[in-house]
Amino acid sequence: MKNVLILGASGAIAQHTIEKLQNDNNINLTLFVRSSNKIKRFKNSHIQIIEGDVLNTLDLKEALKDKDIVYANLSGPMEDLAQAIINEMEESKPKRLIFVTSLGIYNEIPGKFGEWNDKMIGGALKTYRKAADIIEASDLDYTIVRPAWLTNKDEVNFEKTQKGEDFKGTEVSRKSVGNYIAEIIQHPEIDIKASVGINKPGTEGDQPAFY
């Protein structure tokens, strides 16, 4: 039985992950949120919902008790959030971390799409990169997830690139990213110590088609 903590469980990607895992009898989920209103429907015998703040040391320490895997799907001060998680995980049992950041943090997007992406979210990339650097410098078995621009399409269709490779494609569905993360949780040996770009095949271009 795997005990899994999802930080930021009310996020759209996280909810797709929960939907994929909620009927897996080999996994106990703890959903950590500021407000549980959006995810009350998920509560069952294998799912516990707790409210708290990742930047509150006592909240995070309590949530980490007896966990095997931590999946963080957060927004806000990413550098501070990453450091808080690393600090507590390095003192606790869980060593497996899945952490969602952003495409473009390594200047890995070639061509005009890379220029467009930098223009659109350039400021945020710095804090995402700092968060990734903190995680990569830790002793944890991490997977950093770098999705392309996100859509709400009801599809699971993605390909992966690794750190050091050019990013492919311009978009990917939230459902695809959520399902990839669920796959890691079910098979934690996948993509250990990796920073993985996720995109929908065949979506190359100067910017996402939906934009």
Answer whether residue 44 is part of any domain. yes
Mean pLDDT of 124-146: 97
Residue 103 exposed, middle or buried by CB count within 10 Å (0-12, 13-18, 19+): buried
DSSP string for residues in 177-209: HHHHHHHHHHSTTTTTTEEEEEE-TT--SSS-T
> By residue range, what is the domain housing residue 74?
2-199
Distance CA 77, CA 131 (A): 9
pTM: 0.97
Answer whether residue 207 is part of any domain. no
pLDDT band at 205 (very low <50, low <70, confident <90, very high): very high
pLDDT band at 92 (very low <50, low <70, confident <90, very high): confident
Count CB atoms within 10 A of the CB of residue 114: 17
Give the count of domains, the chain. 1
CATH classification at residue 38: 3.40.50.720
Answer whether residue 163 is part of any domain. yes
Distance CA 158, CA 187 (A): 18
Answer whether residue 14 is part of any domain. yes
Answer whether residue 27 is part of any domain. yes
Q: Out of 4-18, 37-51, 149-163, 184-198, which region has the weakest mean confidence (pLDDT)?
A: 37-51
Mean pLDDT of 91-106: 94
**Please, which residues have CB within 8 angstroms of residue 45's CB and are 6 or more apart in sequence?**
none
Predicted local confidence at residue 36, as pLDDT:
87
Task: Check if the beta carbon of residue 17 is closer than 8 Å to that of residue 42.
Answer: no
Task: Check if the beta carbon of residue 192 is closer than 8 Å to that of residue 141.
Answer: yes
Closest to 198 measured CA to CA, from 96, 110, 101, 94: 101
Task: Check if the beta carbon of residue 57 is closer than 8 Å to that of residue 88.
Answer: yes
Answer whether residue 35 is part of any domain. yes
Predicted local confidence at residue 114, as pLDDT:
97
Mean pLDDT of 119-124: 92
Answer whether residue 206 is part of any domain. no
pLDDT band at 46 (very low <50, low <70, confident <90, very high): confident
Q: Is the dihedral of CA 109, 160, 70, 4 positive or negative?
A: positive
Answer whether residue 148 is part of any domain. yes
Residues 139-184 pLDDT 10s: 999 999 999 999 999 999 999 999 999 999 999 999 999 999 999 9
